[in-house]
């Protein structure tokens, strides 16, 4: 599928591309124009803190898929130990999709966990071009 066909489809379904900046380490932010296809956040409550995880999936105007996993802990004094990992997956959309799913699985012990699976499923619903890679991972 050509970039113009995919971006035209996303523009029709979701409106124009938006500017996104994902903060990076050592002042190396990742900026791009595209669409946020999904952002899923999950909280686990423990006796002394709350653990948060957020998984986001984007498609850029250049037809690259960007995946991000953020993790943090919340205590009485605010957020602590915040970690953000991001990857850019390029190639034809089916290749980029395969790479994105593999990266998300790698982030969670080589299988999609519930939050990653939900984020990918939501992205597939918003961008049908990704549906070929929406496969439920078994235990």
**139 in a structural domain:** no
Is 60 exceeded by the pLDDT of residue 2?
A: no
Residue-wise over 65-100: b if at least 16 C-beta within 10 A, else e?
Answer: bbbbbbebbbeeeeeeeeebebbbbeeebeebbbbb
pTM of the model: 0.87
Is 70 exceeded by the pLDDT of residue 134?
A: no
**12 in a structural domain:** yes
Cα dist. 38→2, 48, 66, 67, 130 in Å? 22, 30, 11, 10, 12
Is 90 exceeded by the pLDDT of residue 61?
A: yes
Domain hosting 121: range is: 3-133
**36 in a structural domain:** yes
Is 80 exceeded by the pLDDT of residue 49?
A: yes
**138 in a structural domain:** no
pLDDT tens string 65-108? 999 999 999 988 788 788 889 999 998 888 899 999 999 998 87
**87 in a structural domain:** yes
**98 in a structural domain:** yes
**101 in a structural domain:** yes
Tally of domains within the chain: 1
Is 90 exceeded by the pLDDT of residue 136?
A: no
pLDDT tens string 12-23? 999 999 999 998
């Amino acid at each position: 599928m050509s970039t113009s066909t995919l971006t035209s489809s996303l523009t029709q379904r979701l409106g124009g591309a938006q500017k996104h900046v994902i903060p990076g380490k050592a002042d190396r932010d990742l900026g791009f124009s595209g669409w946020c296809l999904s952002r899923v956040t999950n909280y686990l409550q423990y006796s002394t803190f709350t653990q948060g995880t957020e998984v986001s999936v984007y498609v850029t105007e250049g037809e690259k898929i960007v995946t991000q996993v953020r993790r943090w802990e919340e205590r009485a004094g605010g957020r602590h130990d915040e970690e953000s990992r991001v990857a850019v997956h390029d190639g034809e959309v089916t290749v980029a999709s395969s790479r994105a799913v593999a990266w998300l699985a790698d982030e969670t012990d080589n299988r999609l966990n519930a939050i990653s699976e939900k984020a990918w499923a939501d992205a597939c619903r918003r961008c049908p071009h990704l549906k070929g890679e929406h496969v439920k991972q078994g235990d």
